[in-house]
Structure 1
Amino acid sequence: MRKRLAVLVAAAMCLVLVAFLVPLAILLRSVTADRAVTAATAKAQSLTSLVATSDAAALRPAVDQLNTTAGHPVTVFLPDGTVLGAPTPRTPGVTLAAAQGGSLTVDDAAGREILVAVQGLPRGTAVVRAFVDRAELTRGLGSAWLVLAGLGLVLLALGVVVADRLARSIVRPVHELAAVSRRLAEGDLDARAVPGGPGEVRSVAAALNLLAARIRDLVRQEREAVADISHRLRTPLTVLRLDAESLRDAGEAERITGHAESLERQVTALIDQARARDSAPGSCDAASVVGERAEFWSVLAQDQDRAVTVEVAPGPLPVAAGPAELAACLDALLGNVFAHTPEGTGYAIRLTGTSEGARLEVSDEGPGFDFDDVSRGASGAGSTGLGLDIARQTARASGGTFTVTREPGARIVLELGKPLGMP
């Protein structure tokens, strides 16, 4: 924008300068020529009285004396054919001036003739000729044009500099607004724009500040709402754990209590995550987390006669995802398998290390997805549609990718990135 404004002003000033300087240059040329012609005319007219009253012998010294001065050689053509002064042939202009008895100005390739006729002589009309060469007609014109061109360039440079300063005063607040917008996009909800520049830019800055304040309030309300909802789950979880402890079967009580405690840890992690403002991405050993969650779900798989394949590469496999986030991601994917495939349907969990981190694959032998949209909130089976999005967000937050294959069965692949600072 700044460059465009400078170019626009430069173009406008070029048009103005051309419209001003070209006529001025033409006027200077005309003035320079008129000045030389006027001087030559005055020089020729100074001899008319002598030509009218003196003979050739008396006239010759006066003409020679006049020609000793620089420029404009003067020649006198008398009616009897005598030529006094600067030697030059009798030109058609001289003949025409003598015939008409008047004064003429004749241009030719060499310069300009100033012809003054002197009537009343006994033998006819004499002609006084002063000649202005082409160099004299343009003497000093080149330097004057250079001065005009230099003046034009100086004015153009000043105009561009002033335009650049004005454009900078407009563009700088716009760049500051863009910087504030980027900070807001990066999660700095306290970023605010300092109003400056033209009134329109100040209005945009004020609107951006209002928008940032509103976003901060909405995010705070959302975090508090999530934290409150998660906190409410603790009461029924506590009741569930107490009921499990009261069971007569010690093994069953221990198993259910373990599940309740695991769920309570997830709820606690969810509360902490909701209340956290700008925490850095966590990290964990993917092999340890995946192995623990695979073992957890294997108990339910045995109850439903599901064939389970677990292939976990030996750890550690550090990835840029916290243990709670990775566990929630795998729980969401396996929960989908148990919720949307018939009992007896097998599934597989494969974790391998890669140069970029780790690759987690969850597949099943079910019918696959019966819908095309796998975006957040979309579901073809009556669920909330958030399970796949949890996995997608986990992969992207780690710097990896998320891939879904619908047929045959369902196959979901997560490429998890390495923690920051690791080679």
Structure 2
Amino acid sequence: MRRRIALLVAATTTLVLVAFLIPLAVLVRTVAFDRAVNTATTEAQALTSVVGTADRSTLELSVQRANAQGRFPLTVFLADGTRLGAEAARTPAVRLADRGRSLTVDTGDGVAVLVSVGDSSGGRAVIRSAVGERELLRGVHRAWLLLAGLGVVLLGLSVLVADRLARSLVRPTKELSDVSHRLANGELEARARIESPPEMREVATALNHLAGRIRELLAAEREHVADLSHRLRTPLMSLRLDAEALRDRSESERITEHVDTLQRAVTRIIEQAGKRGATRTSPPGCDAVAVVSERVDFWSVLAEDTEREMRVDIARGPLRVAVEASELADCVDALLGNVFAHTEDGVGFDVRLFAAEGAVRLVVADDGAGFDESELAGDPLHRGASGSGSSGLGLDIVRRAAGDSGGSVTLGSGARGGARVVVDFGVPEV
């Protein structure tokens, strides 16, 4: 916007300067021309009295003195054909002036001023004053340069003033943009200044109201999540007591471990809800090899129980990713959970983890029926979108984890015709 305003003012100022300076430049040239011609005419007329009264020798001395002191060469053509003074031809213009008519004519390299006067013998004499092109333009070029410099200075001043004015207009908009970006990054304390033009003041007030409303909604959400933790505490405690009361010790430990896992998951959800709305920073990152290996070991027991072939290919670590370990674990659980939930028992699957160009790639592909057209048309990567009757939250967890790290998720078909999910995780900046 600043640039556009500056360009507009520059264009307008240029048009105004051209409209004024060109006629002024022409006027300067005309004034210089008239001044030179008038000076030449004055010098020529100064000899009229001498030509009309003095004798030949006196007239000749007077012409020589005038040529020595004057700016323009003078020539006197007498009635008897004698020429005194500077070299000059008796042109048709001189013969015309010899008839008693004074005039100014163009000579090609300047002008000649011809003054007709009666001489002492009673005949007609012509006084010729020659003005060269250089004399006609004396001071014109310097005046033009001054006018051009003045135009440049005025143009620069106008652009500078326009830029200052545009900055005062753009600054409130830039501040509003900065505040909106800070709010988007979780700085809920950011507020826009109200000291601005009336139009911007209304926008700033609305933005501040929106920021306050967002803060209230997030506070209410945190309260709801905290209430959820208290509501789940009693059922989880009952499950733990029931598990510990089992006679089968191994069965009791297994169920207790599941209860502990559920309790940790609930605690992690509460912690993440508490962090929501805080200023975003670069994720601390984790070793993807360690996290994926641990979750694969967890799911391998269920794969064995359901007679599934689990083909695992995990590169040697460490492979750092810009995702917290808990988020990466949730991502792996969501992908493997989908395999178990949407394929029949006995259907095998692949889990691969390796370093890609600028990312760490996790590939989960099963040997089932794969995605059908309706599922892909429903965009299953978005929250709540599922064509198989599920909640549609699993792939959304994967999408958000990959997106927060600067990566992406791709859905397709595997080599055996089943569903294939490719997740690229960004790597932490060094």
TM-score (ref. length: structure 2): 0.83
Specify the alignment match of 1:253 in structure 2: 252
Q: Deviations over 1:142-165 (max 9, x none)?
A: 222222222222222322332333
User: Do structure 1's residue 388 and structure 2's residue 395 form an aligned pair?
Assistant: yes
Q: Which amino acid aligns with 1:375?
A: L
Pair 1:46–1:387, CA change in 2 (3 A): same
Q: Deviations over 1:107-163 (max 9, x none)?
A: 112322222223597654332322222222222222222222222222223223323
Specify the alignment match of 1:411 in structure 2: 420
Specify the alignment match of 1:328 in structure 2: 330
Q: Deviations over 1:256-293 (max 9, x none)?
A: 23212211111111111111234753544544444443
Specify the alignment match of 2:409 in structure 1: 402
Residue segments in structure 2 that go unaligned for 5+ positions in a row: none
* Number of equivalenced pairs: 420
| Alignment partners' CA distance in 2, 1:197 and 1:130 | 71
Q: Which amino acid aligns with 1:243?
A: D
Please list, as runs of the form range in 1=range in 2, the aligned pairs for 1:53-68 lying within 5 A after superposition: 53-56=53-56, 59-68=59-68
Specify the alignment match of 1:262 in structure 2: 261
Specify the alignment match of 1:186 in structure 2: 185
How far does residue 96 in structure 1 lie from its aligned partner after superposition?
A: 0.6
Q: Contact 1:234–1:267 (CA<8 Å) still a contact in 2?
A: no
| Alignment partners' CA distance in 2, 1:312 and 1:139 | 90
| Alignment partners' CA distance in 1, 2:67 and 2:291 | 114
How far does residue 192 in structure 1 lie from its aligned partner after superposition?
A: 3.0
User: Do structure 1's residue 375 and structure 2's residue 381 form an aligned pair?
Assistant: yes
Counterpart secondary structure, 1:68? helix
| Alignment partners' CA distance in 1, 2:289 and 2:89 | 115
Specify the alignment match of 2:344 in structure 1: 342
| Alignment partners' CA distance in 2, 1:342 and 1:325 | 27
Counterpart secondary structure, 2:423? strand
Specify the alignment match of 1:15 in structure 2: 15
Q: Deviations over 1:23-78 (max 9, x none)?
A: 11111111112112212222222333444445545544444443332223333333
| Alignment partners' CA distance in 2, 1:87 and 1:357 | 95
Specify the alignment match of 1:36 in structure 2: 36
| Alignment partners' CA distance in 1, 2:136 and 2:213 | 77
Q: Contact 1:41–1:114 (CA<8 Å) still a contact in 2?
A: yes
Specify the alignment match of 2:97 in structure 1: 97
Q: Contact 1:189–1:212 (CA<8 Å) still a contact in 2?
A: yes
- CA RMSD of superposed structures (Å): 3.2
Specify the alignment match of 1:75 in structure 2: 75
Specify the alignment match of 1:146 in structure 2: 145
Q: Contact 1:367–1:410 (CA<8 Å) still a contact in 2?
A: yes
Pair 1:236–1:311, CA change in 2 (3 A): farther
Please list, as runs of the form range in 1=range in 2, the aligned pairs for 1:191-340 lying within 5 A after superposition: 191-195=190-194, 198-276=197-275, 277-278=278-279, 281-310=283-312, 318-340=320-342
Counterpart secondary structure, 2:69? coil
Q: Deviations over 1:75-105 (max 9, x none)?
A: 3333233334444332211211222x22211
Q: Which amino acid aligns with 1:365?
A: D
Q: Contact 1:293–1:331 (CA<8 Å) still a contact in 2?
A: yes
Pair 1:344–1:96, CA change in 2 (3 A): same
Q: Contact 1:286–1:318 (CA<8 Å) still a contact in 2?
A: yes
How far does residue 353 in structure 1 lie from its aligned partner after superposition?
A: 6.4
Instruction: Return 88-97 or 215-224, whichever deviates more.
Output: 215-224
| Alignment partners' CA distance in 2, 1:320 and 1:58 | 110
How far does residue 205 in structure 1 lie from its aligned partner after superposition?
A: 4.0
Q: Contact 1:227–1:270 (CA<8 Å) still a contact in 2?
A: no
Q: Contact 1:360–1:414 (CA<8 Å) still a contact in 2?
A: yes
User: Do structure 1's residue 167 and structure 2's residue 182 form an aligned pair?
Assistant: no
Q: Contact 1:306–1:347 (CA<8 Å) still a contact in 2?
A: yes
Q: Which amino acid aligns with 2:83?
A: V
Pair 1:402–1:104, CA change in 2 (3 A): same
Q: Deviations over 1:328-374 (max 9, x none)?
A: 22222222222222233333444456786754333322222231122
Q: Contact 1:350–1:360 (CA<8 Å) still a contact in 2?
A: yes
Q: Which amino acid aligns with 1:168?
A: R
Q: Which amino acid aligns with 2:31?
A: V
Please list, as runs of the form range in 1=range in 2, the aligned pairs for 1:351-362 lying within 5 A after superposition: 351-352=353-354, 359-362=361-364
Q: Identity of counterpart residues, as a percentage?
A: 56
| Alignment partners' CA distance in 2, 1:120 and 1:295 | 132
Pair 1:234–1:313, CA change in 2 (3 A): farther
How far does residue 221 in structure 1 lie from its aligned partner after superposition?
A: 3.4
| Alignment partners' CA distance in 1, 2:118 and 2:314 | 127
Pair 1:241–1:2, CA change in 2 (3 A): same
Pair 1:331–1:232, CA change in 2 (3 A): farther
Counterpart secondary structure, 1:109? coil
Pair 1:72–1:275, CA change in 2 (3 A): same
| Alignment partners' CA distance in 1, 2:300 and 2:85 | 129
Pair 1:294–1:64, CA change in 2 (3 A): closer
| Alignment partners' CA distance in 2, 1:307 and 1:214 | 52
